[in-house]
Amino acid sequence: MQTVIHPTYFPSVANWVAIQQADGNITFEKEDNYQKQTYRNRAYIYSPNGVQMLSIPIKHNKNNVHQKYKDVMLEDNFDWKKQHWKSIQTAYRTSPFFEFFEDEFAPFFEKKHKFLFEMNMESIELLADCFQLDLTPSFTSEYIKTEDESFVDYRDLAKAKGNKNYTFEAYTQVFDDKHGFLNNLSGLDLLFNEGTNALSYLDAQKL
């Protein structure tokens, strides 16, 4: 059975649990309307001060009508990607695997993307490659209704507020001596701290 999820920005650990345990049967929702306050345009990392949000600025729809997620354009009037990369470097430069993967991610933050959906998919493919996870996704051609029982529906994982508080097994994080274990951060946190053990970790978790 196919698992359907929304593509998000360097997805959370919960998303990666769903992707890994779907055993390659992943369908990304491509025909939904864009919604604010979701992981579509944000990710959370573990900074020296605790949780830090990486927020993506988008071009707002002046007509105030529903806009397809796949049509949302990125704001390009300032270099927010440079800020994101600096924040990630500050957060993870002392983590066990950051130096190993750093050169894989640097080009992503130098590249000029136009659409949010396409950039998010690239962030997913990049993380999947680093996890050594075989990802051959398909995409919806029309919006999948929530009552469609032919899919396992994990699209709620894209909600940044009002979502289920997932409790996953703790792994060592750079600043956990200051703030303790922080749950369900971006997959970046899992990769830079766990590296090659990430897939085994994802297999052992429950949604």
> Which tens digits make up the pLDDT trace of 91-121?
999 999 999 999 999 999 999 999 999 999 9
- Asked if residue 206 is part of any domain, the answer here is no
CB 108 within 8 A of CB 123: yes
**Confidence at residue 137, expressed as pLDDT on a 0 to 100 scale:** 85
Print the domain residue range for 187: 2-200
Quickly tell me which residue has 């071009």 as its tokens.
Answer: 59
Question: What would you measure as the largest C-alpha separation in the chain, in angstroms?
Answer: 48
What percent of the chain has a predicted confidence (pLDDT) above 70? Answer: 97
Quickly tell me which residue has 């007509």 as its tokens.
Answer: 63
**Confidence at residue 164, expressed as pLDDT on a 0 to 100 scale:** 67
**Confidence at residue 26, expressed as pLDDT on a 0 to 100 scale:** 94
- Asked if residue 115 is part of any domain, the answer here is yes
Residue 32 in tokens: 């939904």
The total number of structural domains in the chain stands at 1
> Which tens digits make up the pLDDT trace of 57-85?
999 877 666 899 999 999 988 899 999 99
- Asked if residue 207 is part of any domain, the answer here is no
- Asked if residue 156 is part of any domain, the answer here is yes
Quickly tell me which residue has 């640097």 as its tokens.
Answer: 106
> Which tens digits make up the pLDDT trace of 24-43?
899 999 999 999 889 999 99
What percent of the chain has a predicted confidence (pLDDT) above 90? Answer: 81
| Helical spans, DSSP H, in 78-136 | 80-92, 98-110, 116-131
**Confidence at residue 54, expressed as pLDDT on a 0 to 100 scale:** 98
1 vs 59, which has greater pLDDT?
Answer: 59
Average pLDDT for the chain: 93
**Confidence at residue 64, expressed as pLDDT on a 0 to 100 scale:** 61
Taking the alpha carbons of 170, 92, 103, 107 in that order, is the dihedral positive or negative? Answer: positive
> What are phi and psi for residue 16, nearest 5 degrees?
-70, -30
